[in-house]
């Protein structure tokens, strides 16, 4: 997995197979936010190969440990995202418990009603402008 270390632990390139921008870009973000990282970047050498190379250069710590810590950070961030999301959903469901948003959503009906009224508004506006236009033509004649 790791290559191009050549005895210098601070700089390394890691090759992760079966991954793409999804993980590599998030990892680059996590690595960049670590003050121990001097440089990091990633590349996908060929679009047909399912692999990414992640380059990590640190100020002194072994690159491998820094990458591991960044993965850990990213995981903790994800866990927090999941936790807050679940909380927000639970709160939304509690506040809207009068509405049935289960398999037969009323909220969806509301949406269609809203769209209907919008369409009506739009139509009435158009009708409003129509006679003006006709008058204009008559005046010209």
Partner 1 sequence: MSDAESMMHGGFVSALDLPDVPSSKLPHHLDLRRTRVLCNSVAPDNTDTVQYSGAYASMGVDNSLRLDDFRNNFKVNVNRLTADEMEFDMVGVDPSLANAFRRILLAELPTMAIEKVFIANNTSVIQDEVLAHRLGLVPIIVDPRHFDYLSENDRPNEKNTIVFKLHVRCKKGDPRGTVKSDELRWLPKGSEFLKESGASASNTKAETYTSFNFSQDSMPEFSDNPIGVSPGIIVAKLAPGQEIELEAHAVKGIGKTHAKWSPVATCWYRMLPEVVLNEDIKGDMAEELVKKCPASVFDIEELANGKKRATVARPRACTLCRECVRDDEWERRISLCRVKDHFIFTIESVGALPPEVLFTEAVKILEDKCERVISDLS
Return residues touching partner 1 (CB under 8 A): 1-2, 14, 16, 19, 21-23, 25-29, 32-35, 37, 64, 67-68, 71-82, 84-89, 91-93, 96, 101-105, 107-108, 111
Q: Taking a C-beta distance cutoff of 8 angstroms, is the pair 12, 2 a contact?
A: yes
Q: Which is nearer to partner 1, 60 or 139 (CB)?
A: 60
Give min distance, CB of 47 to partner 1, in A.
Answer: 13
Strands (E) located in 5-68: 11-17, 37-43, 51-58
Q: Which is nearer to partner 1, 2 or 141 (CB)?
A: 2
| Gyration radius (Cα) of the chain, Å | 29
Q: What is the DSSP letter of 105?
A: -
Q: Which is nearer to partner 1, 79 or 117 (CB)?
A: 79
80 CA to centre of own chain: 15
């Amino acid at each position: 997995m790791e290559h191009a270390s050549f005895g210098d632990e601070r700089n390394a390139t890691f090759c992760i197979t079966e991954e793409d921008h999804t993980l590599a870009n998030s990892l680059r973000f996590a690595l960049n936010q670590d003050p121990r990282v001097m440089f990091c970047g990633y590349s996908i050498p060929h679009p047909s190969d399912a692999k990414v190379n992640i380059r990590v250069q640190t100020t002194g710590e072994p690159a491998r440990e820094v990458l591991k810590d960044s993965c850990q950070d990213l995981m903790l961030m994800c866990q927090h995202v999941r936790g807050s999301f679940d909380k927000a959903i639970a709160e939304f469901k509690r506040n809207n418990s009068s509405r049935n948003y289960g398999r037969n959503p009323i909220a969806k009906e509301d949406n269609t009603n809203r769209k209907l009224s919008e369409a009506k508004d739009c139509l009435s506006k158009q009708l409003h402008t129509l006679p003006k236009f006709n008058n204009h033509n008559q005046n010209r004649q």
